């Protein structure tokens, strides 16, 4: 029997992974475990040494063409023993020939390059505080709970790598979250979700056809949280309008990652992506 054995996570194991993410300072959402597990129940691995959890990683599959790696954590007392590399190799192998993406923290980016990941662009995390006065309005602005799910899913599909309806249903329905969309005829012109986290709230995704629509959705979301509450927005640096949006809300940079892929970067409409859904799942 190997000293370090790797298994698929149970649903309870995902709670452990999210707890560790909190200890790493990644500020996960309060309901991330449920939502992440819904994306791909077989996409989470845990490594145990003599039965004790030592490391975790996610390798979520999106259909047959794409995968995303995240939640890569080895507990401090298990580091330097090669366990992390074993987890990594198992996760990559599980994704087969898919194009694989990840959001790499600064200190690990060179290691990811060595394993075949190429840099696409930076994602920047901004932190701000909800202003005391925020406006909401417009007949075309609607709570997502009042909209047909397929309309939301169809718009999401234009801004994401692959279909992810199982994840999205759980993401939209999670306790304490708020979501708004902008109607554009029979379709949507954008939508956004805000969820509670260990610290404050995170906005994501925030997808919109124009900067003006993104501004309106974000403002509507901020109305839903207490005055002076802390909120976060993760934006692709290549979308200059998303950087400007954060600036208009007096947000400051607190964290960054590199979006990296094993293959060619997907042809995403980055000009419509004003907020990344989550660094763990893409």
Per-residue pLDDT, 139: 83
Average pLDDT, rounded, for the chain = 94
Given 120, 138, 167, the domain boundary residue is: 120
Judgement on whether residues 180 and 88 belong to the same structural domain of the protein: no
Judgement on whether residues 81 and 153 belong to the same structural domain of the protein: no
Per-residue pLDDT, 1: 45
* CB-based contacts of 204, cutoff 8 Å, min separation 6: 192, 193, 195, 233, 234, 275, 276, 277, 278
pLDDT band at 187 (very low <50, low <70, confident <90, very high): confident
In a domain, 59, yes or no: yes
CA distance 280 to 282: 6
Judgement on whether residues 216 and 157 belong to the same structural domain of the protein: yes
Per-residue pLDDT, 133: 60
Per-residue pLDDT, 136: 63
**pLDDT, tens digit, for every residue of 225-275?**
998 899 999 999 999 999 999 999 999 999 999 999 999 999 999 999 999
Exposure b/e, 175-190, CB count within 10 A at least 16 = b: eebbbbbbbeeeebbb
Per-residue pLDDT, 78: 87
**pLDDT, tens digit, for every residue of 3-25?**
889 999 999 999 999 999 999 99
Please report, for the domain that includes residue 150, its CATH number.
3.40.630.90
Judgement on whether residues 132 and 251 belong to the same structural domain of the protein: yes
Given 120, 137, 152, the domain boundary residue is: 120
In a domain, 130, yes or no: yes
Judgement on whether residues 156 and 245 belong to the same structural domain of the protein: yes
Please report, for the domain that includes residue 38, its CATH number.
3.40.630.30
Domain that holds residue 51: 4-120
In a domain, 134, yes or no: yes
Given 120, 154, 182, the domain boundary residue is: 120
Q: Pull the structure tokens for residue 176.
A: 């304490």
**pLDDT, tens digit, for every residue of 110-137?**
999 999 999 999 999 999 999 876 566 6
Number of domains into which the chain is organized: 2
In a domain, 280, yes or no: no
> Residue 72 CB: number of other CB atoms within 10 A?
23
Contact 115, 104 (CB under 8 A): no
Residue 222: which H helix or E strand, with range? helix 211-223
**pLDDT, tens digit, for every residue of 45-95?**
999 988 889 999 999 999 889 999 999 999 999 888 888 999 999 999 999
pTM over 0.85: yes
Q: Calculate what percentage of the chain has a pLDDT beyond 90.
A: 88
In a domain, 281, yes or no: no
Q: Is 207 exposed, middle or buried (0-12, 13-18, 19+ CB in 10 A)?
A: buried
Q: How many helices (H) and strands (E) does the chain have?
A: 8, 13
CA distance 29 to 193: 12
Judgement on whether residues 83 and 167 belong to the same structural domain of the protein: no
Judgement on whether residues 101 and 71 belong to the same structural domain of the protein: yes
Judgement on whether residues 240 and 259 belong to the same structural domain of the protein: yes
Judgement on whether residues 266 and 212 belong to the same structural domain of the protein: yes
Contact 167, 173 (CB under 8 A): no
The phi, psi pair for 63, rounded to 5°, reads 55, -145
Judgement on whether residues 147 and 249 belong to the same structural domain of the protein: yes
* pLDDT tops 70 at residue 39: yes
Judgement on whether residues 50 and 162 belong to the same structural domain of the protein: no
Judgement on whether residues 97 and 152 belong to the same structural domain of the protein: no
């Amino acid at each position: 029997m190997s000293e370090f054995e790797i298994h698929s996570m149970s649903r309870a194991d995902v709670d452990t992974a999210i707890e560790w993410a909190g200890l790493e300072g990644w500020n996960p959402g309060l309901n991330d475990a449920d939502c992440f597990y819904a994306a791909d129940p077989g996409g989470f691995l845990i490594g145990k040494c003599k039965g004790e959890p030592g490391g975790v990683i996610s390798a979520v599959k999106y259909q047959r063409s794409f995968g995303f790696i995240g939640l890569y954590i080895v507990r401090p007392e298990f580091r330097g023993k090669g366990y992390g590399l074993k987890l990594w190799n198992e996760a990559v192998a599980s994704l087969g020939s898919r194009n694989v993406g990840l959001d790499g923290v600064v200190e690990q980016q060179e290691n990811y390059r060595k394993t075949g990941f190429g840099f696409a662009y930076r994602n920047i995390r901004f932190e701000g505080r909800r202003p005391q006065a925020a406006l909401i309005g417009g007949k075309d602005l609607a709570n997502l709970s009042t909209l047909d799910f397929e309309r939301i899913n169809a718009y999401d599909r234009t801004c994401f790598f692959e279909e992810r309806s199982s994840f999205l249903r759980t993401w939209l329905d999670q306790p304490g979250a708020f979501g708004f969309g902008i109607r554009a005829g029979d379709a949507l012109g954008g939508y956004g979700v805000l969820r509670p986290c260990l610290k404050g709230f995170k906005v994501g995704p925030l997808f919109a056809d124009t900067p003006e629509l993104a501004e309106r959705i974000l403002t509507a979301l901020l109305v839903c949280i207490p005055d002076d509450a802390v909120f976060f927005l993760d934006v692709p640096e290549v979308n200059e309008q998303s950087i400007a949006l954060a600036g208009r809300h007096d947000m400051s940079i607190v964290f960054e990652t590199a979006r990296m892929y094993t293959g060619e970067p997907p042809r995403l409409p980055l000009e419509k992506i004003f907020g990344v859904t989550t660094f763990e799942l893409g």
